[in-house]
Amino acid sequence: MNYFSSKFKLGILGGGQLGKMLLTETRKFDIYTCVLDPSAEAPSKIACNEFTQGDLMDYETVVNFGKNVDVLTIEIENVNVNALETLEKQGVKVFPSSKTLKIIQNKATQKLFYVDHNIATAEFARFAYVSEIEDAIDNGGLQLPFVWKAAQFGYDGNGVKVVRSKADLKTLKDGECIAETMIPFKNELAVIVSRNVDGDVKTYPVVEMEFHPEANQVEYVICPARISAAVALKAKETALKVSQAFNHVGLLAVEMFQTQNDEILVNEVAPRPHNSGHHTIESGYTSQFEQHIRAILNLPLGKTDYKVAGVMVNLVGAEGYSGDVHYEHISEIMAMEGVTPHIYGKKQTRPFRKMGHVTIVNEDLNTARQIAEDVKNLIKVISQ
């Protein structure tokens, strides 16, 4: 099929920043795009050919949108899977498939998938209600502290909390959830695996993620990860095993823990472009966004090596500020060598909301990391 400057239509469910960055690549290739998002101010609205405002969880909305495109993809997992199944039966190509998405959407189902496929992951218990957790603690079936995760609809640190005492249970949202053993890890690592329709597979270099202690969000992504070649190989092999088990099409970001004795445990996955791959726009030969387009259209996959060391800093709304966004000191950070800001186009800021990111590239990784810290300390996302 001819995708370029043709009547072919690519549909994207979700119009956030990931969609916006995907659309940079579709514009480069002149691929016609249609985006569905609930917000009239979605960042992707300015960059697609057709924009539809609608609920991603509504069956009819997703079916009606999807039946008018040739290939349908996602930039967010929270979409109506039953609608995707219907579209697949009607001949629309959906990547990732409804089957893959159904497993990944629910964290309990996702964890059981790892157990079934012999993929090492932290021990966990599954609960239908938060009240059941208290019973499990009382009868010795669950030890404090542990990591609580809502089974569905978590994002950017929401739906994840470290529970250190029974009092913390009062702050949790009720509903299906998992309680996971806390891993005293050395590092949090990630590997992005790309797979096209023919089954060709490539992995991006292992990255290391430094998290914000309160927001449970990635603060820095560092490429290449500061780990031994043996640990990097183990992480890559684990990511490939996970990718093979899902047999997905597109990108699969595999987040992992490196334990104190250098074992690799899978934390969770995302079947789409991912925060851990944003640096590839500047640091890599093929950005993760271009690679996702190549994979779902069954085009040859691009080279995944990094050209230069890269560090990414997330720009999130400062605490104590909500309202019309204002970015302080952007011109100052742009005066620094190798620094590129990406502003997502969200008009309203709130504490810890992802508003953009900054990539720092340098021949020397330690220099890049130091500049990243300078950027983090200087730039402020506040309200006017």
Rounded Cα distance between 314 and 237, Å, is 28
Which residues participate in the annotated binding site for ATP? 107, 149, 180-183, 188, 267-268
CB 340 within 8 A of CB 282: yes
Question: Does residue 98 surpass a pLDDT of 70?
Answer: yes
The amino acid at residue 136 is A
pLDDT value, residue 206 = 98
Which residues participate in the annotated binding site? 107, 149, 180-183, 188, 267-268
Confidence of residue 198 (pLDDT cuts 50, 70, 90): very high
pLDDT value, residue 78 = 93
pLDDT value, residue 215 = 65
Cis peptide before 145 (omega within 30 of 0): yes
- pTM for the model stands at 0.95
Question: Does residue 155 surpass a pLDDT of 90?
Answer: no
Rounded Cα distance between 77 and 154, Å, is 10
All structural domains of the chain with their residue ranges: 9-94, 123-181, 187-383
Indicate the CATH number of 187-383 among 3.90.1150.110, 3.40.640.10, 3.30.470.20, 3.90.1150.10: 3.30.470.20
pLDDT tens digits, 2-17? 999 999 999 999 999 9
Sign for the CA dihedral angle at 91, 96, 97, 101 comes to negative
Instruction: Output the average pLDDT for the chain.
Output: 95
CATH number of 123-181: 3.30.1490.20
**Which fold, 9-94?**
Rossmann fold (3.40.50)
